[in-house]
């Protein structure tokens, strides 16, 4: 069982990870030796704090072993990608891969003899959203029927929210004047809209007023952030997106919870003030990446 995108998972698979992650958080000792003798490889082509730490530390806490592979110091840089994945999968029990291109995540799963988990590509970020559903469940006592507005750039995180929402019955409103080209997934969007669980809006304040949760993410994905070739597009986005910043003004009079997958860019997609507002659950959300990852690894190993 791979996790390439939540599109491929059932409602039951998703909710089972959410429930298990909550149980692991409550009763960590019950899960302390489940992964004994098992190894998780983390193959990262991009930077990471949360996903990497959740994978490495989570695996240790489950009694297993993890191996971090920074793409740049492996022979992935000089030979056939699928040969290297095949070899890696002969050594370990599960691979958590943060790759630049979604097509490479698919190519990895094609040849891997063990499960491949997508640790965030240019199109989806499923491990993030599993932990986010856990956080919403903890905070609101449910995920079904929850109204979430995603504000910002339509990107990998937005796609995974849409995919998850359509499966678990969470309504996702997208207020996103720009879409990352790599994140265009018409089939996902149309299918989610057909279920009535996804819609777009240009009216931010109306959307926030109707929401239980308001969610934002970076205006520029990590691989482009310091890239000089992306600089003019970054500046264009900073100007165009300013009215879509989440701050105390747009949130005035509203009680919606505020979420952000982090890393955050204060003064851009979110104000520093709102990050620390009582409505903000960004740090609980971030902490839950650890339990979400543990729940996911346990589920994937059970199903394999
Ligand atoms: N949210 C998230 O995936 O964070 P990292 O990029 O630090 O892993
Ligand atoms: N959309 C962000 C998510 C970071 C976890 C990015 O890809 O950089």
Name the pLDDT band for 287 (thresholds 50, 70, 90): very high
Ligand 2 pocket check for 269: Cβ under 6 Å: no
Task: Determine the average pLDDT of the residues in 248-267.
Answer: 98
Percentage of the chain modeled with pLDDT above 90? 99
Cα(41)–Cα(93) distance, rounded to whole angstroms? 8
For the chain, what is the mean pLDDT? Answer: 98
Q: What does the pLDDT look like over 203-217, one tens digit per residue? A: 999 999 999 999 999
Tokens of 137: 């469940």
Which of the four pLDDT bands, split at 50, 70 and 90, describes residue 270? Answer: very high
Give the tens place of pLDDT for each residue, 53-69: 999 999 999 999 999 99
Spatial CA neighbour of 294 closest among 9, 25, 12, 99: 25
Ligand 1 site-directed mutation target among 120, 124, 127, most atoms within 8 Å of CB: 120
End-to-end CA distance of the chain: 6
Query: Smallest Cα–Cα separation from 209: which of 250, 249, 243, 241?
Result: 250
Distance from Cα 32 to the centre of ligand 2, integer Å: 30
- The set of catalytic residues is 98, 125, 128, 217, 261, 289
Q: Is the distance from CB of 8 to CB of 277 less than 8 angstroms? A: no
Please report which confidence band the pLDDT of residue 304 belongs to, taking 50, 70 and 90 as the band edges. Answer: confident
Distance (Å) from CA 194 to ligand 1 centroid = 31
Can you tell me the mean pLDDT for 149-159?
98
User: Please, which pLDDT band fits residue 303 given cuts at 50, 70 and 90?
Assistant: confident
Closest ligand 1 atom to 127 CA: 3
What percentage of the chain reaches a pLDDT higher than 70? 100
Which sign does the torsion angle of CA 275, 281, 284, 290 carry?
A: negative
Cβ density class 47-81: b for 16+ within 10 Å, e for less: ebebbbebbbebbebbebbbeebeeeeeebeeeee
């Amino acid at each position: 069982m791979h996790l390439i995108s939540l599109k491929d998972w059932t409602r039951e698979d998703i909710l089972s990870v959410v429930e298990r992650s909550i149980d692991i958080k409550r009763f960590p000792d019950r899960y302390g030796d489940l992964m004994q003798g098992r190894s998780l490889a983390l193959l990262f082509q991009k930077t990471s704090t949360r996903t990497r730490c959740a994978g490495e530390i989570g695996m240790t806490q489950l009694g297993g072993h993890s191996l971090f592979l920074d793409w740049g110091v492996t022979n992935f840089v000089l030979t056939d990608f699928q040969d290297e994945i095949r070899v890696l999968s002969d050594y370990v029990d599960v691979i958590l891969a943060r790759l630049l291109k979604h097509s490479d995540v698919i190519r990895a799963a094609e040849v891997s003899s063990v499960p491949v988990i997508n640790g965030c590509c240019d199109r989806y970020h499923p491990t993030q959203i599993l932990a986010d559903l856990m956080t919403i469940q903890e905070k609101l006592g449910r995920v079904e029927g929850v109204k979430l507005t995603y504000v910002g750039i339509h990107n990998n995180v937005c796609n995974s929210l849409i995919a998850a929402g359509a499966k678990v019955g969470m309504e996702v409103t997208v207020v996103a004047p720009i879409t990352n080209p790599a994140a265009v997934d018409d089939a996902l969007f149309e299918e989610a809209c057909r279920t009535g669980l996804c819609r777009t809006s240009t009216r931010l304040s109306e959307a926030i007023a109707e929401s239980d949760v308001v969610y934002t993410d970076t205006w520029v994905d990590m691989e482009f952030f310091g890239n000089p070739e992306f600089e003019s597009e970054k500046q264009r986005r900073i100007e165009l997106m300013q009215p879509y910043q989440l701050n105390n003004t747009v949130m005035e009079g509203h009680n919606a919870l505020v979420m952000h997958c982090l890393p955050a860019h204060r003064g851009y997609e979110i104000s520093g003030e709102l990050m620390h507002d009582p409505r903000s659950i960004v740090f609980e959300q971030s902490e839950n990446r650890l339990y979400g990852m543990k729940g996911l690894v346990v589920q994937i190993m059970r199903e394999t």
